[in-house]
Chain A
Amino acid sequence: MVYTPREYARLRNTVLTVSLMGWLILLKPAFAPLAYGAAAPRVMSYCAASPGALAWSVPGAAATPWLAPLSVAQAQSLLGGWALMLVAMMAPLLIQPIYHVRATSFARRRTRATALFVAGYGAGWMVAGVGLLALELLVSVWDAQSYLPAALVGLVALVWQASPAKQRYLNRCHRHRALAAFGAAADRDALLMGLEHSRWCIGSCWAAMLLPMLLPHGHVVAMMGVSMLMVCERLDPPRTPAWQLRGFGTAFRYARLRLRGPQPSALPATLAARV
């Protein structure tokens, strides 16, 4: 793969724009119908579309909430919200693999290969989302306003974050398969790479993703924090699996770097101009 900074920057900006649009829709209720269609709740926010809110809005759910089935519209709304959350949080994690897909595909196949990769990746996460949303629904039925489930999951997420298993999944996220260049084999490889990548990504991020979902309040702020942590832990190179609290140091340094703004070059002016 030949690395070209300009192409990489172009792709990064596009993906970050898509992610930003996802965040704006999450934050701005007026954009909700774009993502939720007719099933958009009247007062839209991620909180309003959460399984807890929907479960309690079903007639008769107050008495036996676990027996009240979700309507198709509500299920669509949930999955739409989940997809939107994926776009906002996961898109920045896909810059490197999408670049790999594009750089190792013929120019005329790039869009198709990218679409197949994203479809595979999204499909994997949507399947995982069904499980995570079901878990959220169960917890919200038990006690929607309790911070206890979130605290327990936060503890699990912290242990998982430091575990060697997490590093193994992260290492796999850095690994990109060789893609066939021609015909159906190229399509299959792009799709498989998306599915593979989603598998490692789910293994790496499931606990962190579950935490904001279980919070009674402050989903979006928690989602932003988790998203930044996930982006920063991907900036670290692959490492030998070991017990180590990862991602936080990089996130702290990244935030400090951004807050400090551009620094003057330490090189002499003439040399800096050449660089």
Chain B
Amino acid sequence: MDLPQNAELLGASAEHLPVTGTGVRTSVVLTPAGQYHLGAREAPSGPVYLALENVRGTRDATILNVYLLLPDEGGTGAPRQLLVGGEALYGLRRASNLQGSNRAGLTLVFDITPKLGELQGPQLLQSKKIGVSIVPERPLPNAPDITVGRVSIFR
């Protein structure tokens, strides 16, 4: 993955997210610079990443699929989901272990540049927020065994 020379945080979610059941939704609030960058009519000038930071828990054998939630255009009321990618949580338990070798959880980074390129800027962003949905491959118990520290968007 090509990483940017000057990374900049464009937006972030406000709270910790317990991933339970069939998934969880949150909003990534954008800064004015982030809104300008992502809402441009043409494709973003550089790569843009969506990161799930400090993912902690005990269920290593879980795959999380991440979707961008786009405003509905067909009038059905339900937001359209655009798959960003999926990631298996190998090493989650070890990375979350407070007593041993710990790294405050896993950080999953998805390159969303191609997805943004497929969209027209104004279609994606008229507001200050982007909806993000995190859906486990198989439904999880209702106990919060997996938590996401923060969802953020970088460029």
Contacts and interface: CB of A to CB of B under 8 A. Distances in A.
B149 interface: yes
B129 interface: no
Interface stretch (A14-22, A232-240, A266-274): A232-240
Interface in A179-197: 179-182, 185
Contact of A237 (B8, B29, B101): B101
B100 A4 contact: no
Nearest to B56: A178
A4 B53 contact: no
A4 B101 contact: no
Contact of B104 (A2, A176, A240): A176
Contacts of B33: 107
Contacts of A175: 102-104
A2 B4 contact: yes
B14 interface: yes
Contacts of B29: 181-182
A10 B51 CA distance: 23
A175 to B, nearest CB: 4
A2, A177, A181, most chain B CB atoms within 10 A: A2
A103 B102 contact: no
B104 A241 contact: no
A181 B6 contact: no
Contacts of B99: 168, 241
B107 interface: yes
A114 interface: no
B5 interface: yes
Contacts of A238: 100-103
Contacts of A104: 9, 53, 150, 152
Contact of A2 (B31, B101, B109): B109
Contact of B7 (A2, A176, A177, A181): A2
Contact of A171 (B54, B101, B107): B101
A240 B53 contact: no
A3 B3 contact: yes
B9 A107 contact: yes
B100 A2 contact: no
A106 interface: yes
B14 A180 contact: yes
B13, B109, B150, most chain A CB atoms within 10 A: B150
A83 B13 CA distance: 37
Contacts of B154: 2
B82 to A, nearest CB: 21
A107 B10 CA distance: 9
Interface of A: 1-4, 6-7, 103-108, 168, 171-172, 174-182, 185, 237-241
Given A107-B9, A172-B102, A241-B100, 15 more contacts: A1-B107, A2-B49, A4-B6, A7-B5, A7-B7, A107-B8, A174-B102, A175-B103, A178-B53, A179-B150, A180-B14, A181-B14, A181-B150, A238-B101, A238-B103
Interface of B: 3-9, 11-14, 16, 29, 31, 33, 49, 51, 53-54, 99-104, 107, 109, 149-150, 152, 154
Closest 3 CB pairs of A and B: A178-B149, A181-B12, A238-B101
